[in-house]
Amino acid sequence: MPLRLDAGVPGFERDFKALVEARRESDVAVAADVAAIVADVRARGDAAVADLTARFDRVDLAATGIEIGRAEIAAARCRIAPDVMAALDLAADRIRAFHEAQRPTGLDTTDSLGIRTGYRWTPIAAAGIYVPGGRAAYPSSVLMNAIPAKVAGVGRLVMVTPTPGNEINPLVLAAADLAGVDTVYRIGGAQAIAALAYGTESIAAVDKITGPGNAWVAEAKRQVFGIVGIDMVAGPSEVVIVSDGRSDPEWVAADLLAQAEHDAVAQSILITDSAAFGDAVAAAVERQLLDLATRSAARASWEAYGTIVVVADFAAAVPLIDALAPEHLQVMLDDPDVVFQGVSHAGSIFLGRHTPEAVGDYVAGPNHVLPTGRRARFSSGLGVTDFMKRTTFLGCGPAGLAAIGPAAVTLATAEGLPAHANSVRLRLQP
């Protein structure tokens, strides 16, 4: 059964603190195995990638080739039903429009002393996106990772996706084509991350890697960070739903299960001002689980990590939400701004009763690559600027340097760096 908490009951603060601090990441000790794979790819390049792909994915790269060619991608598009292709087109168009509005502008200004300062944005030269493969592949993840990169102006965008047993999801290839991915490679796992980070004979190294994956992929991204940039090391999915008793319990139950079905360690939390409504939602969850194809994972998640919190009013919910800093926050109230305006920490917020988080996963436009595990306290969802760099610049003329240079000399001397001081002092002499 899900955890039940009542903010009006003694001991709530202790119990809620335990909820916030509980770790849900799968306890899989893979660091040593991943390190060995990364070292092997660095040392042997394509040969290591081929051996590991044959071992883990049962694919002979010598026979198939490491790259998925344009003809194979075009053939995949032909196998997609027209209504599905239309939905994918709609999603791509909306995601692209939302991210085009994110393009940043630079700054170039000259102050009263004649000193020029500013910054400019330039795209990353090459990026790689990881997409899980096989039957459980998600074309939406392709769009959400690739489109911001192309909008940013990334010069070379490649995708890696495993094809276990030579099985390729045609929707993934179609999404890559729609998003403008330049090259697709049929490799996955930690070996694909290593290949992107260090390069092989067939794959040129990239500058940043984004995209979801299993524990081995996440650990590989962690280990190559610094050699390349990464988006984040993501954990299990999570949602907090704030709702009063005016919502349909069936809607709320469906939204809770939409997160729970991701993984047995996903988390779905309801915050409500009505214990009776919480009971109604819990009963609806049980009814819907009976017919849910993904009920095994969903039930495991709901019973282990599902939570219903009862509060006196929704102003009291705001500090609880900020403490949880959830990946997804749904505010199912007539006036969602009551909560929305007060919350500081959430990956993405869904406003009103007719805005299920699931619509944001696919076609709304905002990115669904979001910080999990309370990381929304200090990080944001994926966007255009994640594929760009901001470079500052400075220009001093003789008068400008004369105005601010003596202070620089003073500070450099105080820090015990005489060469710093001298490099400015020499320019101040007549």
Which one of 261, 328, 357, 368 is the catalytic residue?
328
Of residues 149, 142, 106, 103, the one with CA closest to residue 124: 149
Cα–Cα distance, 218 to 224 (Å, whole number): 10
What CA–CA distances, in Å, run from 152 to 99, 124, 239?
A: 9, 8, 29
CA distances from 398 to 54, 113, 228 (A): 65, 10, 40
Radius of gyration of the chain (CA): 25
Is 238 a known active-site residue?
Answer: no
Farthest-apart Cα atoms in the chain, separation:
86
- Decide if 158 contacts 180 (C-beta within 8 A): no
327 is catalytic: yes
Please tell me which residue in 327, 357, 368, 420 is annotated as part of the active site. Answer: 327
Of 203, 186, 176, the C-alpha closest to 73 is 176
Residues in the chain: 430
At residue 83, the 3 state secondary structure works out as helix
Q: Could you tell me if 148 and 367 are in contact, meaning their C-beta atoms sit under 8 angstroms apart? A: yes
Sign of CA pseudo-dihedral 108, 109, 114, 115: negative
Contact 175, 68 (CB under 8 A): no
- Is 167 exposed, middle or buried, given 0-12, 13-18 or 19+ CB atoms closer than 10 A? middle
Say if CB 164 and CB 136 are below 8 A apart. Answer: no
φ and ψ at residue 297, rounded to 5 degrees: -70, -40
Active site residue ranges: 327-328
